[in-house]
Amino acid sequence: MREEKMRCEIVVLPGDGIGKEVTGEAVKVCRTLASLASLDCSFRWGDIGGRAVERWGVPLPEETLTLCQQADAVLFGAVGGPQWDTLAYDLRPERGLLQLRKALNLYANLRPAKVLSPLIEASTLKREVVEGIDILVVRELTGGIYFGAPRGIEITEDGEKAVNTMVYTRQEIEQIVRLAFELARQRRKKLTSVDKANVLEVSELWRKIVNQISAEYPEVEVSHLYVDNCAMQLVRDPRQFDVIVTGNLFGDILSDEAAMLTGSIGMLPSASLRGRFGLYEPVHGSAPDIAGQDRANPIAAILSVAMMFHYTFHRPDLAHRVERAVEKVLAKGYRTPDLQGPYTTVVGTKQMGDLICQEMEQE
């Protein structure tokens, strides 16, 4: 009896700016993996962000949400651009992504920051500081100050007043912290929890719960850092970190800082998870200034495909195949414009995708 092919149903949301270009190369890598591993990969496309506002009048159409709910995974590009900056708050492209995360309950955002050997010199920090770093930031994604109520701007007797509310429940903290412990146990067994417990009651509860759950993971070394100290330590001695777990606001800031240790934000993938289901996206934005010019770096989107096969489809062998291909292409000196330097060959978005697929096929 012929073995049934593994099915992978993927929704692609290119979004705005360079999103279409980088997701195009990511889909190309998916198709190459499918042919190499005899997978049955199907793709459906949807609108989100500014493109969706122009076509549907909202940044997240119901049609797009339904597509995502029916899929195994979502491959996301980027949203936003200056032409939509004057829209009402609820119509801005970025709201589409926030709404999608909330609607799909994607509570865990995983952002790896790993320095690849060929790109050590691209980092703004010294080789001896960044060489060998391999950090995973685990960010709570559907709670905290981005979603807390009350919120808004109002007119008072003393003038305008703006309010945002940071709220976390025990359940929200427990689920993200437990996932971080599980991931740390699979890696180097070191977890750093980041908060601001000296001034925030939310952080007091966060730290209390981390300490309680740590009793279930005696093999994992746990430490606590205030967010300002963590930001300093990431620049001073990033190799001390393995897994960092923190809330939505702090995770947003720290993961971007960690990303720049690697030399370019164009290199960083991410996964937003709920169990096996995930939304996978590059960390970078829509970069409207280079959109349509074949200059965007597709590697972050391609490495997001690697994360997809690791966390959703449970094929770490295919994930590693993508990662090895990326490193081999970079080792040969090929670079997109954001990474160009002495003794490098500058290539465009599409050619970088082609080169990576060729390396995958040659293994």
Residues annotated catalytic, as ranges: 146, 196, 228, 252, 256
Burial class (CB in 10 A: 0-12, 13-18, 19+), 70: exposed
CB 172: neighbour CB atoms within 10 A? 19
Q: Residue 123, SS3?
A: coil
CA 362/CA 35 separation, integer angstroms: 13
Strand order from edge to edge, sheet including 108-114: 40-45, 7-15, 73-78, 277-282, 269-274, 108-114, 134-140, 243-246, 190-195, 221-226
End-to-end CA separation in angstroms for the chain:
28
Verify cis geometry, omega within 30 degrees of 0, for the bond prior to 298: no
Angle subtended at Cα 23 by Cα 20 and Cα 26, rounded to the nearest 5 degrees:
155
CA neighbours closer than 13 Å in the CB half-sphere of residue 159: 0
Q: Residue 357, SS3?
A: helix
DSSP type of residue 35:
H
H-helix or E-strand spanning residue 156: strand 152-156
Q: DSSP for 171-195?
A: HHHHHHHHHHHHHHHHTTSEEEEEE
Q: DSSP for 243-276?
A: EEEE-HHHHHHHHHHHHHTTS-GGG-EEEEEETT
CA 12/CA 27 separation, integer angstroms: 8
Asked if residues 328 and 1 have their Cβ atoms less than 8 Å apart, the reply is: no
